[in-house]
Structure 1
Amino acid sequence: MIQDIDVAVVGGGPAGLTAATYLRRFLRSVVVIDGGRSRARYIPESHNCPGFPQGVSGTGLLRRMREQAEAFEVEITTGHVDTIVREGEGFVVTAAGRRWRARKVILATGLADRLPEVPWAEAAIACGALRLCAICDAYEASDQAIAVYGPGAVIGGHAAFLRSYSARIALLPTDADLAHEAIAQAQALGATLLPPGGTLEFDGVHCHYRTPDGGVHRFDTVYPYLGYEGGPSLPTGLRLDSDDSGALEVDAHQQTRVPGLYAVGDVVSGLNQISVAVGHAAIAATHAHNALPFVPRAAAPG
């Protein structure tokens, strides 16, 4: 059995749910295939998400957006996409033991943060001891003791950004590759460089960094910058253009090099923010709708 639909949306985070809501309001048939791993679920409480002056948790936001999509009869299927195969001018999408023949596909698969390889990472995120996005929540960490954890090649720039929010910034390099202009700049701004090769620990409230010589440094919050997983492993079976980090490249309509295949949200090169993902989704859904044949509405009875 194969189901014919207008658009298949791969991913049920803010981008995917926004795209699906738009498409249903355009009276298009759409399915969302959601693996349940949206990065938004990690947000304890966001205060920079438009429309929530008192803040909103990531799970709360996802619940509201899902309810909104379902109110317009969006079909949401739980599962992971196995294949996306080109068929004529459309696509055949296989997931969770089902198949859809879709005229258009919107990839909203997002990215997965590489977290420190410790059993307590998610517990530390939940209480704010670990934070994943300085653009999102550095304001909430103002004047705290903040550490930036990751390879020497990347942490310097993040530390310099955070120096605007606190005078107590430390760099925790995971390697000995410290000869970088960004690290020197962060140090010039007052950030402290601790010896590489230490151990990150968690006491249930705060993170601690134990240096190789046994010294222990406590922090109110730690930002790990260990990279992402996502874009390069997309199950499209199609060759897509991407940048050096693996983020997909799209045109002004969020369309990839494959006609009819769109990409939105964090999987696309750019600023990884909920508001940006929502904007991507609106652009892609509207372009996909306009590219599909229009079906004149029948006159209402009576």
Structure 2
Amino acid sequence: MKADSRSADEGLALDVLIVGAGPAGLTAGMYLARYRRRVRIVHDGSSRALWVPRSRNIPGFPEGIAGPDLIARMSDHAVRYGAEIVESRVEEIACGQNDEGFSTRLADGATIDARGLILATGVDTNLAELDSGDHNVAVRNGVLRYCPICDGFEHSDERIAVLGSDLHGAAEAMFLRQYSRDVTLIPKWQVALTDRQRGELAASGVDVLEGRVLRLDATEATMFVTIEGEAEPRRFDTLYPAFGSTPRSELAAMLGPLIDPKGCIPFGAFSDGLLPGVYAAGDVIEGLDQISVAIGQGAMAATRLHNWLREQDGHVMADQK
């Protein structure tokens, strides 16, 4: 298909560059391709969805679907409609000459110019370090988990441990209490909770251990936690490290003061945008980190950006603006 049949713009080679090929970026790419936009998705192969062993809370997959299978399906879906997917790393991004579009530089030195931009760069999960047992195998076996919303249901009535010393860990332990009567909050170093917070946990039936964790040992079906001062390791069916995650928002920061002190992109970035022609979607923005949420935000960001491009090209009724 000729390029000029897909956009009125005769300048930049791409209508939209999407950074990130997780659920948000791939959804946005599929939508934009179906809007007959010239779209390229650039990713570095590190989508967090790729190491999800099986997700059972994505609508339409009651038996669950493995993260790599979902990403493969979504990639194929986007490519079928004309999206281009390239594996590389975007190192730098800036507004184009005369503030026309955006220019990016890849790790190999290549550059990409586009009229619009969607950042779907995701987050890096802060991982636990095991003293024995393979981390990825432990995740696959379900003895090590990172998302109570995603898979707390699968651990109903099990012995659950939450590793985390602060309010974030306490909140996660209380959330998991909905699934099991046997939930224990374990500090990595020392408990950093107020007396009131301890009282809330006790009232909810969450046990709080005081000793420092010395070892984490994963077997096929069990996580053993060795606590300072205790003769024998404690045995749990699954362990949730409550260490949080780090937003991959460096590219947004290159465009201006668009992120909050914690590095998150504001929640409205998928609907209201960050700058003219710039949107974001998925886990990198503030809010609920879920695949279904990222899919919805990707669709919204793609549609808002498509309509913004239509305005630039004079393809919108004046009374609609």
1:260 maps onto 2:272 in alignment:
no
| CA spacing shift, 1:221–1:32, aligned 2, 3 Å | same
Q: What is the aligned counterpart of 1:204 among 220, 226, 230?
A: 220
Give the letter aligned to residue 94 of structure 1.
R
Partner of 1:299: none
Distance 1:147 1:116 in 2: 13
Q: SS state of the match for residue 122, structure 1?
A: helix
Partner of 1:222: 239
Distance 2:149 2:211 in 1: 25
1:84 maps onto 2:84 in alignment:
no
Q: What is the aligned counterpart of 1:284 among 295, 301, 305?
A: 301
| CA spacing shift, 1:253–1:221, aligned 2, 3 Å | closer
Q: Is the 8 A contact 1:7 1:102 kept in 2?
A: yes
Q: Is the 8 A contact 2:119 2:252 kept in 1?
A: no
Distance 2:149 2:267 in 1: 23
Which deviates more, 8-17 or 86-95?
86-95
Distance 1:36 1:217 in 2: 37
Query: Counterparts in 2 of 1:241-252, with a 5 A limit?
Result: 241-251=258-268
Partner of 1:42: 51
| CA spacing shift, 1:111–1:154, aligned 2, 3 Å | same
Please, what is the CA RMSD of the aligned residues?
2.0
| CA spacing shift, 1:116–1:99, aligned 2, 3 Å | same
Q: What is the aligned counterpart of 1:234 among 246, 251, 257?
A: 251
Partner of 2:170: 156
Unpaired runs of 5+ in structure 1? Answer: 297-302
Q: Is the 8 A contact 1:134 1:162 kept in 2?
A: yes
TM superposition score normalised by structure 1: 0.91
Q: SS state of the match for residue 32, structure 1?
A: strand
Unpaired runs of 5+ in structure 2? Answer: 1-10, 316-321
TM superposition score normalised by structure 2: 0.86
Cα displacement (A) at 1:3: 6.6
Which deviates more, 46-55 or 222-231?
222-231
Q: Is the 8 A contact 2:19 2:120 kept in 1?
A: yes
Distance 1:238 1:253 in 2: 16
Partner of 2:6: none
Q: What is the aligned counterpart of 2:190 among 173, 176, 196?
A: 176
1:104 maps onto 2:119 in alignment:
no
Cα displacement (A) at 1:231: 3.4
Aligned residues: 295
Q: What whole-Å deviation, never above 9, does each CA across 1:235-266 have from its counterpart, x for those lacking one?
A: 65222333343210153753443221111000
